[in-house]
Homo-oligomer: A and B are copies of this chain.
Amino acid sequence: MKPKDIPWQERPKNSSDVLWRYSENPIIQRDQIPSSNSIFNSAVVPFGDGFAGVFRCDNKAVQMNIFAGLSDDGINWSINHDPIAFKSGNIEEVHVDYKYDPRVTFIEDRYWITWCEGHNGPTIGIGYTFDFKEFFQNENAFLPFNRNGVLFPEKINGKYAMMSRPSDNGHTPFGDIYLSYSPDMKYWGEHRHIMSPTSFKDSAWQCTKIGAGSVPFLTDEGWMMFYHGVITTCNGFRYALGSAILDKNNPNIVKYRTQSYLLTPSVLYEQVGDVPNVVFPCATLQDIEKDRVVIYYGAADTVVAIAFGSISEVIQYTKENSL
């Protein structure tokens, strides 16, 4: 699949940051559709001549659901006013307490969507679409309690592969990233622990919990992924963004992982909102040839923002700054 012209803006003069924010952030406002209290933690993917997305829109009753949307340029989005209505995939009855924090990726013949599904507690919901018009829901991947399920964009040794973060039923103050496999998108096993929070001493921004963020994409060094890390301050959690590179053939192996964050809440739309001090990546678009990546992230659990980087520079930084 060839990427469209992804959104882009040059690094600001005087900046030496690895990633830099879009000057017109946030690209999606909290009330962009009539029913929404907030739109954040959302995912995009190249689609047709443009881009498609799956968006977390919490409505004004603060009920969480996911919505489809389209865009020509990846910046200006038209989001449906009604949440996605799933038909039956490999499960007969589709149970729904709530849905949030979607990711989306194309594998073989269709677009797979994963999200946090309410089923007596949060777990990982799975669905797919061919056209972003009709959507199908499969069996949940895991038992509760789980969050941040992120699929690899191709099968690994013939099996689907998904990262996730086992959790509990509230504001989980712990969390590691695991990798699990499935032959059929129905039964899952071969669970491997791949990444833990760090010690406070080694890298405090990710010492409480971590979770997979964007769908990994292949680089010469392996699978590049952006993830979130959390620190507990005396005024609650603060979420920042780091990068990791997993082994190409055996993604159970974390080759590199940044000791420093690449992005931390430091502008007003990240620091102030429904949940202050949150930067939460859920997707990237990348143009390998042009050496560009754009990261889509939720800010302050309220809006969607993007940041840009050079893929080769991110790789270099991740290697040189690795834990």
On A, residues with C-beta under 8 Å from B are 16, 30, 34, 37, 58-64, 91, 97-98, 118-121, 123, 139-146, 164, 166, 168-169, 171-172, 174, 176, 178, 180-184, 186-191, 193, 196, 200-205, 231-238, 259-261, 264-266, 268, 271-277, 301
Name which residue of chain B comes closest to A185, CB basis: B189
B60 adjacent to A166 (CB under 8 Å) = no
User: Would you give 9 A-B contacts (Cβ < 8 Å), ordered by A?
Assistant: A37-B205, A60-B261, A62-B231, A63-B201, A97-B201, A143-B166, A143-B180, A182-B187, A235-B276
Whole-angstrom distance between the alpha carbons of A20 and B110 in the complex?
A: 44
CA A184 to CA B118, docked complex, whole Å: 27
**Cβ contacts under 8 Å, A261 to chain B:** 37, 60-62
Q: Please give me the residue from chain B that is nearest to A231 by CB atom.
A: B62
Within 8 Å by CB of A98, from B180, B201, B235, lies: B201
Q: How far is the CA of A193 from the CA of B97 in the complex (A)?
A: 13
Q: Are A171 and B16 in contact (CB under 8 A)?
A: no
Q: Is A169's CB under 8 angstroms from B180's CB?
A: no
Known A164-B143, A171-B234: A193·B275 in contact at CB below 8 Å? no
Beta-carbon contact of B236 and A236 below 8 Å: yes
B63 touches A204 (CB 8 A): yes
A260 near B59: Cβ-Cβ < 8 Å: yes
- A119 to B193, Cβ gap below 8 A? yes
Least Cβ distance of A194 to chain B in Å? 10
A235 to B272, CA, bound (A): 11
Contacts of A190 in B (CB 8 A): 91, 139, 186-187
Q: Is the CB of A202 within 8 A of B61?
A: yes
With both beta carbons as reference points, the residue of chain B lying nearest to A272 in the complex is identified as B271
Residues of B within 8 A of A97 (CB): 201
Minimum distance in angstroms from A235 CB to a CB of chain B: 3
Known: A235-B277, A275-B233. A260 touches B143 (CB 8 A): no
On chain B, the residues within 8 Å of A16 by CB distance are 34
A30 to B172, CA, bound (A): 29
